[in-house]
Structure 1
Amino acid sequence: MLNLGGPNNLDEVGPFLLRLFADREIIQLPAQRWLGPLIARRRTPKVQENYRAIGGSSPLLHWTTLQAEGMVRWLDQRSPATAPHRAYVAFRYASPFSADALRQMQADGVRRAVAFTQYPQFSCATTGSSLNELWRAVRQSGLEDAFTWSVLDRWPTHPGFIEAMAQSVEYALQQIPAAEREQTLLLFSAHALPLKLINRGDPYPHEIAASMHAVVQRLGTRNPFLLCYQSDVGPVRWLGPSIEQAIPRIAAQGQRSVVVVPIAFTSDHIETLGEIDLEYAELAHKVGIRHFVRAPALNDAPTFQQALAQIVCDHLQREEPYSTQYRLRCPGCTNPQCRSIVNPVAAKVAPSVGL
C-alpha cells in the first residue's frame, strides 16, 4: 500500500522535508542539491508547529494500517481463491519505506505482489514517484525475481470509493442547518501540483475532476460545487485556484455555508487536520462564512475498507499487470524510469472466438 507517509514524531519532520524537497519527481528546483535542503531546514520549525497542533505526529500510518487490516479481512472473503492475503505499507518519505516492506514480504514468503497506490487519482508526483522508488528498492535489494508484480495504479471513479466519499459528504451536510443545506457550497480540495508537471501532461487534474463529478452525481443534490487545491510550497508555480485564495472570494460573493471535501485524501493527516480544520476554518470564519464543515476522511470506515477490498478483488480477477493507461507516459516525460514494472505477472490472454 503506497503512500506519501508522514513524520511519526517531531524529530522526524526535518528528515521528512529533506526527502520531499530532494525528490525531483515532485518538485524541480534550480540548484536543487543546495536549494532543497535550504528550504527544508527553513520550513522545519513551522512544520513542527503544525504537527504539534495536531498531536505531534502524522496519523497516516495508523489509519493506513487499519485500512489494510479491514481490507484483508474483506478480501479473504471475496477472493478465497487468492487467499490468504497480507498487506504491507510502503511510504515515500517516512518509515516504513519500500525497502522495509520488501524485506518483510520476503521473510513472510510472499511470491505474488500487487503495488496498490493509496492515491485514488494518478500523478507522476505521487503514484509515479512511489512506484519508481519501489522498483529502485527492488533492484537495490536484489529481489528482482523474488515476486511477480502487478500494479493498481489508479481508481478515481471506482464505485466503492465514490460511495464511501458520498456517504462522507452526506454526513457533513447534515451538520449544516436545514435551511441553508441546499445552498451549501461543496468545496472539493486536492493537493496542488507544480504547474510544470501539469504542462508536461500529468493526468492528475482530469482524474481529480472525474472523482468530483462522480461524487456529485452519486449525491444527486443541487448543491453548487467547486474544485480547489491546497498545500503548495516552494518557489515554483502551482496548480490553482488555491483554497486559501478561494475562501475570501466566495465569501465576498455571499457564500455563507461550505462543506470541504478532501477528494484526494483518504486518510486524516496534516492537510486535513491542520490546514483545513485549523488554518482554513479560521480564515473562513474571519471572512464571514458561518458554517465551515469538512467531510470526514474515510480512515477506517467499513464502507471504504470494503471498497479497497473490492478494488483489489476486481484487479486480481482481471489478471492484468497494470491498467490501460499505466504505460502511457506524459508527452513531455524525460524520466526513462517512469511507468516501468519489475517482473510483471503474465497478462490473461482472451480466448479466441470464431464467428
Structure 2
Amino acid sequence: MKKHKMGLLVMAYGTPYKDEDLIPYYTHIRNGKAPSEEMVAELKEKYDYIGGVSPLAEITLKQANLLEKHLNEIQDIFEFEVYLGLKHIHPFIEDAVEKMKENGINEAVSIVLAPHYSTYSIEIYNKRAMGHSQKINGPMIYPINSWYDEPSFIEYWTMKINDILSQMTVSEKEKTMIIFSAHSLPEKILQYHDPYPSQLQHSADLIAGELGFAQYTIAWQSKGNTPESWLEPDVLDLTAELHKSGFTSFIYAPIGFVSDHLEVLYDNDYECFALTKQLNAKYYRPPMPNTHPLFISSLANSVLNEICKQKKVAI
C-alpha cells in the first residue's frame, strides 16, 4: 500500500550560525530594532564563554532529521517529509512553508521544539506557519500545541535526575532541592490565564512523582532584557533563598528546553554554578535531551497522536 505523504514542520527558536549573524539575529528578536553596542558585546561574551558558536543549530537539525526517520520506521501509513522552520533566523518558518508547497505537500503536522504552550511562544510559531500557508494557498497544517506530559519526555527527565540522586548519600539527599525551570515570559501572560506556568508545574509534578522525591519546586530563568515584569521566582533568587533555609545541593532541571544552548550552557552552567560555588553548595544538572531516543520518541508520539485525531485513523 502506498504511503500518504505528510509534511513534518519542525519549528524552533534558532541561533546565530556565525559571528556575522549575531546583529541581524538580535535585531530580528527585537522586532527590527537594532541592539546597542553594549547589548551585542554582552551577548557575544556569553557565546564566547560557551565556545563561540552555540551547538543549538546542529542539534536542532539532527533532532528534526531523527524525528522524520523514526516516524517513517514505526508506522506504514504516512510518509513523513521534514521541513525545518526557525523563528529568528533562516530558514524562517515562512521559508519552510513555501518549500512544502513547492514540493507538493498538501498536509503537514507542525511541532515546536518546546514542550509547554504559551500565547507568547508556541501560539506565535503556529500562527506564523498557518497564516503564511493560508496566504500562499499552501498545505493544511495540523498544529501541536504542547507535549509537556508525553510519557517518554517524563521518562527521560526522571531517568536522568534519578542518575544524580542515586549517587547521593542519604544525608545529602535530605538537603537537596530539584529546581525545574523554563524560560521566563512577561508576567502579563497571567492576565490571560495563559497555561504556561501550570503546564511547567504539571511536568514537574509528573517527574517528581515518578522519582518519589518531594523536595522540588519550579522557577524561571533567562528573562528578557526589557523593563516589564517577568515571571518569578527567578532561578538565581530562588537558589539563594533555598540555601538560607538549609538546602546545600541543587539539581537544576531546565525542562522547558530540549537542547544544549546558550540558556543552559551559560545561564545554568555558568550563572547558577557560580552562585552555588559562592554559597558553598553543590551544583548538578542532568544532560539535556538533545537526540536521546526517548526524547525523539516523545516527539514522534505527539505527532502520531495529533494525526490520528485529525485524520481519524489508528496507528
> Corresponding residue for 2:6?
none
> Corresponding residue for 2:227?
235
The 2-side partners of 1:96 and 1:20 are apart by: 15
Q: Sequence identity of aligned pairs in percent?
A: 26
Q: 1:10 aligns with which of 11, 19, 22?
A: 19
The 1-side partners of 2:45 and 2:107 are apart by: 42
The 2-side partners of 1:8 and 1:172 are apart by: 33
TM-superposed CA distance for 1:276, in Å, is: 0.2
2:179 match: secondary structure: strand
Residues 24-72 of structure 1: per-residue CA shift (max 9 Å, x gap) = xxxxxxxxx7xx545x554111011101111222222211222222222
Cα 1:213–1:242 shift into 2, 3 Å: same
Read off the aligned partner of 1:162 and give its amino acid letter.
I
Kept after mapping to 1: 8 A contact 2:23/2:34: no
Correspondence 1:288 to 2:280: yes
The 1-side partners of 2:264 and 2:29 are apart by: 19
- Between stretches 106-115 and 210-219, larger displacement belongs to 106-115
Correspondence 1:200 to 2:192: yes
TM-superposed CA distance for 1:175, in Å, is: 5.2
> Corresponding residue for 1:166?
158
Residues 258-285 of structure 1: per-residue CA shift (max 9 Å, x gap) = 1100110011111111110011101111
Kept after mapping to 2: 8 A contact 1:10/1:52: no
Kept after mapping to 2: 8 A contact 1:78/1:313: no
> Corresponding residue for 1:317?
308
Superposed counterparts of 1:256-275, under 5 Å: 256-275=248-267
The 2-side partners of 1:175 and 1:44 are apart by: 41
The 2-side partners of 1:135 and 1:61 are apart by: 23
The 1-side partners of 2:236 and 2:25 are apart by: 24
More strand by share: 2
Correspondence 1:303 to 2:291: no
Read off the aligned partner of 1:90 and give its amino acid letter.
G
Kept after mapping to 1: 8 A contact 2:100/2:139: no
Correspondence 1:113 to 2:112: no
The 2-side partners of 1:187 and 1:254 are apart by: 15
Residues 146-169 of structure 1: per-residue CA shift (max 9 Å, x gap) = 312211111111112111221222
TM-superposed CA distance for 1:182, in Å, is: 5.0
1:213 match: secondary structure: helix
Kept after mapping to 2: 8 A contact 1:172/1:296: no
> Corresponding residue for 1:329?
none
The 1-side partners of 2:156 and 2:12 are apart by: 19
Kept after mapping to 2: 8 A contact 1:92/1:133: no
TM (norm. structure 1) is 0.80
Residues 177-220 of structure 1: per-residue CA shift (max 9 Å, x gap) = 56423542111111101111222322111111111111111222
2:236 match: secondary structure: helix
2:83 match: secondary structure: coil
Correspondence 1:191 to 2:180: no
Read off the aligned partner of 2:304 and give its amino acid letter.
C
Read off the aligned partner of 2:114 and give its amino acid letter.
Y
The 2-side partners of 1:52 and 1:150 are apart by: 39
The 1-side partners of 2:158 and 2:103 are apart by: 37
Kept after mapping to 2: 8 A contact 1:9/1:57: yes
2:233 match: secondary structure: coil
> Corresponding residue for 2:46?
50
Kept after mapping to 2: 8 A contact 1:168/1:298: no
The 1-side partners of 2:83 and 2:265 are apart by: 25
1:88 match: secondary structure: strand
Read off the aligned partner of 2:189 and give its amino acid letter.
L
> Corresponding residue for 1:86?
81
Kept after mapping to 2: 8 A contact 1:158/1:311: yes
TM-superposed CA distance for 1:4, in Å, is: 1.3
The 1-side partners of 2:303 and 2:196 are apart by: 21
Cα 1:104–1:192 shift into 2, 3 Å: same
Correspondence 1:75 to 2:71: yes
Give the paired residue count.
303
TM (norm. structure 2) is 0.89
The 1-side partners of 2:75 and 2:221 are apart by: 38
The 2-side partners of 1:20 and 1:274 are apart by: 19
Kept after mapping to 2: 8 A contact 1:251/1:288: no
1:186 match: secondary structure: strand
The 2-side partners of 1:199 and 1:65 are apart by: 36
The 1-side partners of 2:174 and 2:66 are apart by: 34
